[in-house]
Structure 1
Amino acid sequence: MAEPLDDKTAFGIDLGTTLSVVAQVNSAGLPVVLPNAEGSPTTPSIVLFDAGHAVVGAVARESLATEPASVVQLVKRHIGSGWTFDYGGVAYRPEHVSALILRKVVHDAQLLAGPVTQAAITVPAYFSDPMRAATLRAGELAGLEVLGLLSEPTAAALAYGYDRRPAGATGVVVDLGGGTFDVTVMEYDGAELKVRATGGDAYLGGANFDKVLFDCFVERFESAHGLDINDPDAQSLDECAQVSQDWLLRAARAKHDLTSRDRTSVALQAAGLTLRVDVTRAEFVSGSAVLLDEMTEKMADVVAAAGVTQKDISVVLPVGGATRMPAVRERMKEMFGVDPDTSVRPDEAVALGAALFAAQRQLERGGALVMAPSAREYLSELTVTDVTAHSLGISVFETAGERQRPVMTALLLRNTALPASAERTFFTMRPGETRIVVPVLEGESDDPGLCRRVGVVVIDGLPPHRPAHQPVSVTMSLNENGILQVAATDVSTGAQASTTIAREYLANGDASGGAADRMAATMQIE
């Protein structure tokens, strides 16, 4: 007799910038990674468009050097924006490409697990509302019922804590993936996991370290042969793209070599010329100093925001394949004074934690999962409290002397526990206003020009001839997935507007605060 669908545990999916992983909780209550159809635990998050078909994974990665115009990678860095990948007359948005990756990894996982269509998907901790919403949309486009979005460091912490279940411990997760960097401080207390503070960088990851070696190759090759492969006049655009992708792949392999060896040798070829380049680990570390310093600065910032000291930290978890680099682990030990715990594989930890989270969500909904009683009990009691990665507010005007200046007024501060909500009253500025515009911003500066506009709420059709200084109540709320809802009410008339953010502004690629400032002319602070 076939196993009922309700008894299957949902997938946990680490939708990574460079690699994606799927895991599932088995009947013994243990999270396990499900290898893809090629037998690998990880699938390259790369898509090759070939004669109307989309090929995802290792084949697409190998095609980077030969068909660069048909291959898209690092799409996660663009999700939530208006960026597109144009191929065959079709503009693919980031969520469309991400959906293709999700379909591949889910299809392969189903070969082992059967017809499972529910999943939890992880996102970097710093992801904004548009980024999270686009990830959620990608899951839906892939045919999944998304049980929830979970921050990657939180997922890794779940995977670590599941076996150990520490009590009264403070830990730090340092997540350096292929394209992104996260730092999260959290507290363990049995079945309770609470995030204290989080931060990250959308453009810092293993790919940046690959670029260090790539730049080294370019410099050595030009010194030896007088050819700069980045010079568009030296080669055709197609030749330049092919050589660049080939060298980047070789740089990634050299980075892996230098993780376990003190030196490596790379054979380069361009324009019929060849060169063998020797690189030492010391040279690589020296060239990566700026990146390592950026990591150290971010780690210090998040620890300070959490209100803890180095002495309070007893667990340091390296997550993401790039944390295997010795220089990265040395920086972690220098920062926290604790040896990084490597008991959970860094490139699988996020997916394993996501699988636990997915099972917990199913039990929370009353799902009848086949699972060892002790595992069921723990997951039923498990509580995960995440936090906001950014401050959220609106652009309004405040009076400074005889002048008024635009300011970003935060309603929900960074590192507020989720779910969260806040309400504040503002006032119209001029008489006769029939339309109230509430621009929604994200950022840590009170200067709207230094914040990101994530959407707008509009109350329209108000009666004419109203006096100035009419109260408007604005409410912001974030659910457990970090998805933002904003409501505005004109107090005197009761007219309301509510939205989960009008993201058409993002589709136009407008993330500037300037446009938001111009739209904020209807609101002021008391």
Structure 2
Amino acid sequence: MEWLPSAAVAFTAGCAILAVNGYKGRPDVVGIDLGTTYSVIALKTEYGVKVLRDEANRSLVPSMVHFGSGGAIHVGYAAESFLETEPNHVIYNAKRYIGRTYDAPAVQELEGKHGFAVVANKSVSPSGNWFSLDVPGHQSAVSPETVGSYVLRHLLDIAYFNLGHRQITKAVVAVPAKFDTQQRRATIAAYTQANLKVVRIIEEPTAAAVAYGLDKKPDVNYILVYDFGGGTLDVSLLFVNKESVQVLHTHGDDELGGSDFDYCLTSWLDEQVSTAAGSQEKLHEACGEEGYIQTVDSTSDAPPLCAPSYIRQLAESMKCSLSVNATVHESCTAYFPGKGGPQDSPRCAPLQLTVERDSFHQRCSDLFDRVLSPVEALLKEINMDAAEVDEVVLVGGTSRIPRIRSLLSEYFGIDHLNTEIDPDLTVAIGAASIVD
């Protein structure tokens, strides 16, 4: 066995050579954006930052957890499928509750807006409000931190799918600039439950600026980060000095997000269905679950039923399509009760729904009227003019809406907004960028 010492020496020498050449072994740190609506995980590599995708090539994970019977847990897209059948057991928007007390105004304002119930909790948990459960195999209530930890574990599964190992044990964590000490503590608790050590906390607007390299760009002092997500609108003003980024002030609208535009379009589509086909009370009874059963003009590729759940899905997809198309057409199978005559008997048939961008602006004008208010309020509170802002960064999926971008360009009097990076991924990319 005389070869063992020489083999050990060779192995040590080989490792030293790899280290000198920059090899650091398997990565163990990621950047994570644990969002209100969606979450993202990113990894810094020698070639730059890589956003990790799941087996279906999706980079966004719905921040949603379903608690099923027998202790079953479903996360992300798998949890979405239970929204209609078990709405009280699907928890989402947990970020709005984390680190807050049950009687906090922000929590009370959400009462009745979700399918699940929220109850007060006086345990050692950082959050004083928990989500009520009545499911065999689960405890009677679960904390926002625990919900977040399940989403984080799912993100780690995505990392395993991409990397082939489970050595990710640390994370750079992005949090809203307005999070107080208790909310940050609760967020760290979620990571701890997921067996992740928080090595650094970075505020989300700072992460966005770092993703664009604005902390290193010459002659840039003031950066406005406009973060319009699915549930909230957050605006932050940053000050940059010698690559150091400081959040000077924040403002926002916790009652305005992409989901509000979805609700607006859903109402509009419901009206289109009602106007064209009448009441849909007998939709499932007459047309069946697949939309083409018992239909007069039956086709195997008939669109899904014009049911509330599908109309909501159409509203969101059409909203996204309007960002690149002036007019969007979709269809669903509706029930036409008819007038009883031989030429107008009851039937199930496809119904085309149409939304035009200009009409979208008019229909949802009350929402568009609010998109600049936090910006105006922020600048007014610190006695600053729009012309003093050097860069504007757009974050969050709702910031893709062309009308919102044009309003911001007009307000700041600039042609260029920082939009080149996918706004859904910007924060996670920035968080991963600062990994040593």
Question: Same fold by TM-score, threshold 0.5 exceeded?
Answer: yes
2:131 paired with 1:84: yes
Equivalent residues, number: 346
Decide which moves more: 246-255 or 287-296: 287-296
Shift of 1:160: 1.0
SS in structure 1 of the partner of residue 271 of structure 2: helix
Measured against aligned partners, the alpha-carbon deviations of 1:468-498 in whole angstroms (never above 9, x if no partner) come to: xxxxxxxxxxxxxxxxxxxxxxxxxxxxxxx
Distance 2:355 2:321 in 1: 10
Match of residue 208, structure 1, among 239, 252, 260 = 260
More deviation, 275-284/158-167:
158-167
Quick one: which of 26, 29, 40 aligns to 2:45? 26
Say if 1:155 and 1:349, in contact at 8 Å, map to a contact too.
yes
Q: Which residue of 394, 419, 422 corresponds with 1:342? A: 419
Shift in Å, 1:79: 2.5
Q: Where does residue 353 of structure 2 map in the other structure?
A: 277
Aligned residue for 2:58? Answer: 40
- Equivalent residue of 2:43, what SS? strand
Q: 1:211 to 1:263 in 2, by over 3 A?
A: same
> How far 1:76 sits from its partner (Å)?
2.3
Q: Choose the corresponding residue for 1:198, options 239, 250, 255.
A: 250
1:12 is aligned to 2:58? no
Q: Is the 8 A contact 2:30 2:43 kept in 1?
A: yes
- Cα deviation per residue 1:93-150 (whole Å; 9 max; x = unaligned)? 2222111111100221134344111112222223344433322221111111122333
CA, structure 1 residues 139+243, in 2 after alignment: closer, same or farther (shift >3 Å)? farther
Moved more, 332-341 or 41-50: 41-50
Residues 1:55 and 2:74 aligned together: yes
Alignment partner, residue 132 of structure 1: 184
> Which residue of the partner structure matches residue 520 of structure 1?
none
Change (3 A) 1:183 1:291: same
Measured in 2, the distance between the counterparts of 1:124 and 1:288 equals: 27
Partner of 1:312: 388
Asked whether 1:95 is paired with 2:159, we answer no
What is residue 364 of structure 2 aligned with on the other side?
288
RMSD (CA atoms): 2.8
> Which residue, out of 317, 324, 330, partners 1:260?
324
Q: Distance in 2 between matches of 1:98 and 1:44?
A: 11
Aligned to 2:432: 355
Separation in structure 2 between the aligned mates of residue 105 and residue 87 of structure 1, nearest angstrom:
26
The counterpart of 1:219, out of the listed 271, 274, 295, is: 271
After the TM superposition, which parts of structure 1 deviate over 6 Å for at least 4 consecutive aligned residues? 1-7, 270-274
| 177-186 vs 161-170, which moves further | 161-170
Shift of 1:177: 1.2
Change in 2 beyond 3 A, CA 1:228/1:306? farther
> How does 1:99-138 map onto structure 2 within 5 Å?
99-113=149-163, 114=165, 115-138=167-190
Give yes or no for contact 1:46–1:72 (8 Å, CA) kept in 2: yes
Give CA-to-partner distance per residue, 1:237-274, whole Å, 9 cap, x none: xxxxx943332221110111111111112334577866
Q: Pick from 64, 71, 75: which aligns with 2:83?
A: 64
Per the alignment, residue 173 of structure 1 pairs with 225
Q: Deviations over 1:379-407 (max 9, x none)?
A: xxxxxxxxxxxxxxxxxxxxxxxxxxxxx
For residues 50-106 of structure 1, give each alpha carbon's deviation from its aligned partner in whole angstroms, at most 9, with x where no partner exists.
442212222333443455454333332333341515240532222221111111002
CA gap of 1:293–1:127, structure 2 versus 1, over 3 A, is farther
Which runs of 5 or more structure 2 residues have no equivalent in the other structure? 1-10, 101-128, 282-305, 337-347
Give, in whole Å, the separation in 1 of the partners of 2:196 and 2:159. Answer: 13
1:156, CA displacement in angstroms? 0.5
CA distance in 2, matches of 1:159, 1:13: 13
Q: 1:40 to 1:163 in 2, by over 3 A?
A: farther
Alignment identity in percent? 32
Q: Is the 8 A contact 1:150 1:354 kept in 2?
A: yes
Do 1:168 and 1:188's aligned partners in 2 also have CA atoms closer than 8 Å?
A: yes
Q: Which has the higher strand share?
A: 1
User: Could you say if the C-alpha distance between residues 136 and 254 of structure 1 is closer, same or farther in structure 2, counting changes exceeding 3 Å?
Assistant: same
Secondary structure in 1 matching 2:31: strand
Superposed CA deviations along residues 291-340 of structure 1, whole A, max 9, x for unmatched, are 22222110111122344212111211111111111011012112211231
Conserved in 2, the CA contact under 8 Å of 1:5 and 1:116? no
Distance 1:205 1:99, change over 3 A: same
1:364-379 to 2 correspondence within 5 Å? none
What CA distance in whole angstroms lies between the structure 1 residues aligned with 2:45 and 2:206?
Answer: 21
Aligned partner of 2:74: which letter?
Answer: V
Residue 193 of structure 1 deviates from its aligned partner by 1.4
Q: Larger deviation: 247-256 or 298-307?
A: 298-307
Deviation at 1:178, TM superposition (A): 1.4
Query: Unaligned stretches of 5+ in structure 1?
Result: 230-241, 364-526
Equivalent residue letter for 1:101: V
Q: For 2:143, give the aligned amino acid.
A: R
For residues 201-259 of structure 1, the C-alpha deviation after alignment (integer angstroms, 9 at most, x for no partner) is 23321111111101112233333444388xxxxxxxxxxxx943332221110111111
2:416 matches 1:301: no
Residue 325, structure 1, aligned to residue 372, structure 2: no
**TM-score relative to the length of structure 2:** 0.71
